[in-house]
């Protein structure tokens, strides 16, 4: 669930979540097998602040996978806003990858 919350930080960075971005997040949650309760928590951004802490316990491969998903999420609507780019950079830094 932390991975999805971290990706959500990028999706909401510009204050606009498009249908394509919602679909991207839903597909990501599907791939990770989130329960309906977990999906609701992600949608409501519950645990958002704790996601960074959880991410510190991820393997380097998991961290890279989250950063890759976040980068793809930033581009899914066809526009990379400066706010989304900044959110990706912040995530990379928080994960120790940038």
Structure confidence by residue, pLDDT tens digits, 55-86: 889 999 999 999 999 999 999 988 899 999 99
Query: How big is the CA angle at 33 (ends 46 and 35), to the nearest 5 degrees?
Result: 50
What is this structure's pTM? 0.90
CA distance 54 to 49: 10
What residue ranges do the domains of the chain occupy? 2-94
Query: How big is the CA angle at 29 (ends 23 and 33), to the nearest 5 degrees?
Result: 145
- Is the predicted pLDDT of residue 98 greater than 80, yes or no? no
- Is the predicted pLDDT of residue 28 greater than 90, yes or no? yes
């Amino acid at each position: 669930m932390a991975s999805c919350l971290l990706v959500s930080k990028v999706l909401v960075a510009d204050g606009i979540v498009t249908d394509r971005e919602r679909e991207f997040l839903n597909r990501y949650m599907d791939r990770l097998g989130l329960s309906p309760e977990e999906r609701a928590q992600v949608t409501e951004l519950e645990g958002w602040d704790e996601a960074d802490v959880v991410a510190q316990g991820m393997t380097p491969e998991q961290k890279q996978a989250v950063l890759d998903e976040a980068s793809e999420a930033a581009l899914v609507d066809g526009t990379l806003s400066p706010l989304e780019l900044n959110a990706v950079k912040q995530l990379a830094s928080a994960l120790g990858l940038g």
